[in-house]
Amino acid sequence: MANGILVAAEVSGGAVASITLEVLGAARRLADQMGKPAQAALVGSGVEGLAKELIAHGADQVFVVDEPALAKYSCDGFVAAMEKVNAAASPDAILMGQSDMGRDLGPRLAFRLGSVSAMDCLNVTGEGGKVIAERPCYGGNARATYSFNTSPAVISIRSKAQEPVARDDSRQGQVTKVDAGIDASAIRDKLVGHQEVAEEGIRLEDADVIVAGGRGIGSAEGFSVLEELARALGGAVGATRAACDNGWRPVSEQIGLTGKIVGPTLYFAVGISGASQHMAGCTGAKNIVAINKDPEAIVFKSSRFGIVDDYKKVLPALVEACRKLKA
């Protein structure tokens, strides 16, 4: 008998990762639909204190595996720990973020539990007591719906696809310690190095305003006016694969199917045609403003506002208007 919706929590820099709070939001809503508790698995070393964060953001029960061998993520260690939590929690579904950890952990955990995984989903719902997951396919041009014949269904959720539950420190929950007895010498995969990519300014994933440019910008220098607009609006600069492949912007700024997934309030698509592989990375944007000199550009179909003109005329005028508004 399955008992709830379990989230595999992720810890980053000593805090609960923002993607975990989004996934917990999805778990809370799914648990309410199914009349079951929202559960969280907190796996790591020195992490027990974070259980209250998970409760404040919607978890009814938190299962804590706090052991020195779990100080860093390892597939062997975390799969073994999650297997113990699964035995204690017996969930209908295990949800996690579509992050480096989730990508690695999800399929392996599903196999260990004799179940299946659906990765990179946008939404989960409960219908007739069954968990249903929805994910994009064909480069973001269609959506596929999955139901599961095995339990627990292991589902990873794309970042920015779900809203966290508002923090409420008065929420009450139950914390259960699980002893997984992980032996460090049995962990075959070892992290041998860690390199932080230095990112200046606001991270694309966190930005509320993004000014993204494509091949239409024409050169690396052309991006300076996009940087100006981003600065004026307190936002970040993004790019298409074409702009990155040309060496005009770093690959870390690429948005799309093979780049970053973003969900700002305002997304400027400048000199971007609107290829589905690019748009797959920004469908979570609340408002898309396309600036393109070709009135037939497909990007206008997914935009809330469109300006048909040369970006070299439009952007300086926008920067000036922002300056005047601020003055």
C-alpha to C-alpha distances, 171 to 48, 51, 165, nearest whole angstrom: 17, 12, 12
Site string for ligand FAD, 256-295 (x = CB under 6 A): xxxx-----------xxx-x-xx--x---------xxxx-
Q: How many residues bind ligand FAD (CB under 6 A)?
A: 28
Which residues have a Cβ under 8 Å from the Cβ of 4 and sit 6 or more positions away?
Answer: 31, 36, 37, 38, 39, 60, 61, 89, 90, 91, 92
Q: How far apart are CA 215 and CA 62, in angstroms?
A: 48
Q: How far is the CB of 246 from ligand FAD (least distance, A)?
A: 9
Say whether residue 249 binds ligand FAD (CB under 6 A). no
Quick one: 164 or 218, whose CB is closer to ligand FAD? 218
Indicate left, alpha or beta for 283 from its phi (over 0: left) and psi (-120 to 50: alpha): alpha
Say whether residue 311 binds ligand FAD (CB under 6 A). yes
Say whether residue 98 binds ligand FAD (CB under 6 A). no
Site string for ligand FAD, 197-216 (x = CB under 6 A): -----------------xxx
Q: Kindly tell me which residue out of 39, 254, 283, 303 binds ligand FAD, with binding defined by CB under 6 A.
A: 254
Contact 134, 119 (CB under 8 A): no
Q: How far is the CB of 66 from ligand FAD (least distance, A)?
A: 38
**Number of C-alpha atoms within 13 angstroms, CB side, residue 28?**
22
- The contact set with ligand FAD (CB under 6 A) reads 214-216, 240-243, 254-259, 271-273, 275, 277-278, 281, 291-294, 297, 310-312
